[in-house]
């Protein structure tokens, strides 16, 4: 795939799936904007590594996707430094899994603010420029938890990811025919998000997966690459499950 002269913003790209999406896009000659919130060191290290290895343009930007001012400033900086934005991957996300009886309004709100409102805000400000250009690709990272319900301990996260699917379909309709808006719904992926899970639970979950393992971040990133590329020109408002056959 040759994404030369394309510029892609990946939110929450300092670690995990986001960092892998950055690398897969850069490997295909795409310039990348690495957004982070807390993990400054990891984000800049990734930026240096990508610049040296793939010889593409890299910009690293701090922004909390749930903060409207941060988002507005980030998009304006991208346009002033890169001239245009072709691909947006709304990947930033958090989960705060607790027992049902320990669920709080504050944590529920935090999750919605980052996962759902963050996706809305970045899409809103980025799509303004994509519409002017009359082209663009938006890829939202949802989750299989946004399609089915598995574990009430993540009911707040699940609601946010179901909301991301609804946003995907509404934005696809609103931004057509110029911008493709799709979602990827991963199942279990080997990242920090799952590092607290206990061994026994992991084994039970692996037994439910046809592939008998969690995904590697790159296996999600490859699907994002397809949706970011011209190969997916007639797909919009769609959700692609990547769960190894759960
Ligand atoms: P991760 O390793 O925990 O990384 C999360 C990323 O999101 C970090 O780069 C973090 O950046 C960023 N982030 C969090 N809050 C942010 C904010 N307010 N503003 C900007 N960035 C923010 O998680 P992951 O597993 O890679 O998950 C990536 C996405 O995939 C998430 O949307 C997640 O819900 C989804 N997903 C994951 C799995 C899985 O099994 N891992 C399954 C399905 C879906 P900083 O560290 O810089 O704050």
Give per-residue pLDDT as tens, 140-160: 999 999 999 888 999 999 999
Separation between Cα atoms, residue 245 and residue 239, nearest integer Å: 15
pTM comes to: 0.98
Tell me which residue has its CA closest to atom 32 in ligand 1. 93
Pocket, ligand 1, Cβ cutoff 6 A = 11-12, 14-18, 35-39, 64-66, 91-94, 114, 141, 143, 186, 188-189, 191-194
Mean pLDDT, the chain, whole residue set: 97
Separation between Cα atoms, residue 71 and residue 125, nearest integer Å: 7
Q: Which active-site residues does the annotation give?
A: 157
Give per-residue pLDDT as tens, 174-210: 999 999 999 999 999 999 999 989 999 999 999 999 9
Q: Which atom of ligand 1 is nearest to the CA of 115?
A: 32
Q: Which atom of ligand 1 is nearest to the CA of 17?
A: 26
Judged against a pLDDT cut of 90, whether residue 1 lies above it is answered with no
Give the closest residue to 168 by CA, choosing from 109, 123, 136, 112. Answer: 123
pLDDT of residue 6: 98
Bridge partners (DSSP) of residue 183 are: 140, 239
């Amino acid at each position: 795939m040759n994404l030369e002269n394309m510029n892609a913003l990946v939110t929450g790209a300092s670690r995990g799936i986001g960092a892998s999406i950055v690398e897969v896009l850069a490997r295909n000659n795409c310039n990348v904007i690495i957004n982070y919130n807390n993990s400054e060191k990891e984000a800049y290290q990734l930026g240096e590594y990508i610049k040296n290895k793939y010889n593409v343009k890299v910009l690293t930007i701090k922004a909390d996707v749930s903060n409207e001012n941060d988002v507005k400033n980030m998009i304006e900086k991208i346009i002033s430094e890169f001239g245009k934005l072709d691909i947006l991957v709304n990947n930033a996300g958090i989960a705060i899994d607790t027992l049902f009886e320990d669920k709080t309004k504050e944590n529920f709100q935090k999750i919605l603010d980052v996962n759902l409102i963050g996706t809305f805000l970045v899409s809103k400000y980025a799509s303004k420029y994509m519409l002017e250009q009359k082209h663009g690709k938006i890829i939202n990272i949802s989750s299989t938890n946004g399609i089915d319900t598995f574990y009430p301990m993540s009911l707040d996260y699940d609601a946010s990811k179901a909301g991301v699917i609804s946003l995907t379909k509404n934005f696809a309709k609103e931004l057509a025919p110029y911008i493709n808006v799709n979602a990827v719904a991963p199942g279990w992926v080997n990242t920090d998000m799952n590092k607290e899970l206990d061994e026994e639970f992991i084994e039970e979950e692996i037994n439910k997966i046809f592939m008998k393992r969690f995904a590697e971040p790159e296996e999600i990133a490859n699907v994002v690459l397809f949706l970011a590329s011209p190969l997916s020109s007639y797909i919009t408002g769609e959700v692609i499950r990547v769960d190894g056959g759960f």
